[in-house]
Amino acid sequence: MAEATARYAVVTGANKRIGFAICKQLTSEGITVVLTARDEKRGLEAVEKLKGLGHVIFHQLDVTDPASIGSFTHFIQTRFGKLDILVNNAGISGAHVEESEALVAANILFSGSAKIVNVSSSMGRLENMPDARPKEVLNDVENLTEEKIDEFLSEFLKDFKEGSLETKGWPHSASAYRISKAAQNAYTRILTKKYPLFCINAVCPGHVKTDITYNTGLLTPDEGAEAAVRLALLPHGSSPSGLFFFRSEEKPF
């Protein structure tokens, strides 16, 4: 009976900061948490720090490596047979744009009440991006597809390499980070339409002390994690889906 009611969660990029805090808070709710990280040593060290707080296990995962994603999804299928919560926290800060981490679990068998939470940033919101090109593509919600977003990212990378971001209507400040988060927000909306029975949302945790913010944030990782954990633990059946939140406040994409 316990096995039937057990809940399983995956948190990507979880060996430190917000991801680590999310794992800590989820496991305190009695959820079995799979803490993932690119670096096996750091991931195992993170799990050791959570020892005694609940059931946390480590599995290596690089969200930019298809082989790593395949190995991980096979592990979830064979070990648990389902997944209840996926928190996509893995992020980037350099001049490399990756596809949405939400696709990590594309082949995982989710439970019927699954929650997917994409940890994003207000810098990826279209109303905070006056540049023409992102709005032109990503505001067309009805016609958004994964293929269009892939083309959008490829176009950005081409213009980035050619040094023509500003002339082509792209953001020129923190461009890679902002475009990657805008694309992640767009994938959130696509996945919501694709999986209407799931609860799928994006959330900005606020200005948190992390490596990406050079530890200049106003919030601790534990405080930042609360926003994602709240969405992950919403009751099934009455949960909002397809929305963007700044902490607990709903905002336009």
What pTM does this model have?
A: 0.89
Could you list the residue range(s) of the whole structural domain that residue 218 is in? 2-122+188-246
| pLDDT tens figures, 218-227 | 899 999 999 9
Residue 100 covered by a domain: yes
Report how far residue 19's alpha carbon sits from residue 117's, in angstroms, rounded to the nearest whole number.
12
Residue 36 covered by a domain: yes
pLDDT band of residue 195 (cuts 50, 70, 90) is confident
- What pLDDT, on the 0 to 100 scale, is given for residue 49? 96
Report how far residue 83's alpha carbon sits from residue 222's, in angstroms, rounded to the nearest whole number.
24
Residue 115 covered by a domain: yes
Catalytic residue among 177, 187, 195, 214: 177
Residue 130 covered by a domain: no
Report how far residue 96's alpha carbon sits from residue 177's, in angstroms, rounded to the nearest whole number.
8
| Bigger pLDDT: 163 vs 210 | 163
The three-state secondary structure class of 195 is: coil
Residue 179 covered by a domain: no
| pLDDT tens figures, 134-183 | 888 898 888 899 899 889 999 999 999 999 998 888 888 888 888 988 98
Find the angle CA(37)-CA(247)-CA(38) to the nearest 5 degrees. Answer: 5
Structure tokens at 166: 């500003």
CATH number of domain containing 102: 3.40.50.720
Nearest to 58 by CA among 88, 32, 90, 92: 32
Beta-bridged to residue 83, according to DSSP, are 110
Neighbours of 44 (CB within 10 A): 14
Share of the chain above pLDDT 90, in %: 51
Report how far residue 174's alpha carbon sits from residue 190's, in angstroms, rounded to the nearest whole number.
25
Mean pLDDT on 177-206: 90
Residue 148 covered by a domain: no
Residue 15 covered by a domain: yes
* Domains contained in the chain, number: 1
pLDDT band of residue 94 (cuts 50, 70, 90) is very low
8 noted as active-site residue: no
Residue 253 covered by a domain: no
CA–CA distance from 117 to each of 49, 62, 72, 110, 211 (Å)? 24, 18, 18, 14, 21
